[in-house]
A = this chain, B = another copy of it.
Amino acid sequence: MTVRAWQRQFLTSVSALSVEVGMPPSILRVFAWMIVCEPVEQSAEQLRDALALSAGSVSAATTMLVRAGMVERARRPGERRLYYRVRDDAWEQVLRQRIEATSHLRSIADTVLARAPGDQHRLRDMRSFYASMEKVLRAGVRKP
């Protein structure tokens, strides 16, 4: 399996974001590869070869991506190998997680506001930011 130039470019562009996304490069690389690989389904060994990762890293990455709902496993009858592919609703999962994270921030602000005396102008700003963000994102779920 040879990695083409445009695929390599995609891999590096995406894994460069590992720090801002807060994910290990190897996991980002695996997911990026699964977006551009051919064929769509890849075995752990294919991932290992294409990305020059150890078997352990591939296992950790696939486990994590499956748990996050971005990737799904597929077994083929009469084969020991597992295959992985991007889920159709992968991006909905991403959105869901963002909503969750936003909601969490808002609830932190809520909780502390309930305990804090006085004006708390700055805290209220924070809460209304995340509240409106949350609303906007949830509205984005229902396809317009």
Interface residues of A, Cβ cutoff 8 Å to B: 5-7, 9-10, 13-14, 17, 19-22, 34-36, 40, 86, 90-91, 94-95, 101, 104-105, 108, 111-112, 115-116, 120, 122-123, 125-126, 129, 132-133, 136-137, 139-140
Interface on chain A toward B: helix, strand, loop, or mixed SS? helix
Q: Smallest CB–CB gap between A140 and chain B, Å?
A: 4
Contact B101 A10 (CB under 8 A): no
Q: Smallest CB–CB gap between A69 and chain B, Å?
A: 14
Minimal Cβ-Cβ distance residue in B for A118: B38
Given A20-B22, A115-B6, A115-B9: A132 and B122 interface contact (C-beta under 8 Å): no
Contact A133 B126 (CB under 8 A): no
- Name the one of B112, B125, B132 contacting A9, with C-beta atoms under 8 angstroms: B112
A120 to B116, alpha carbons, bound, how many Å? 52
Q: Smallest CB–CB gap between A48 and chain B, Å?
A: 20
Contact B140 A136 (CB under 8 A): yes
Given A20-B22, A115-B6, A136-B139: A91 and B36 interface contact (C-beta under 8 Å): no
Q: Smallest CB–CB gap between A18 and chain B, Å?
A: 9
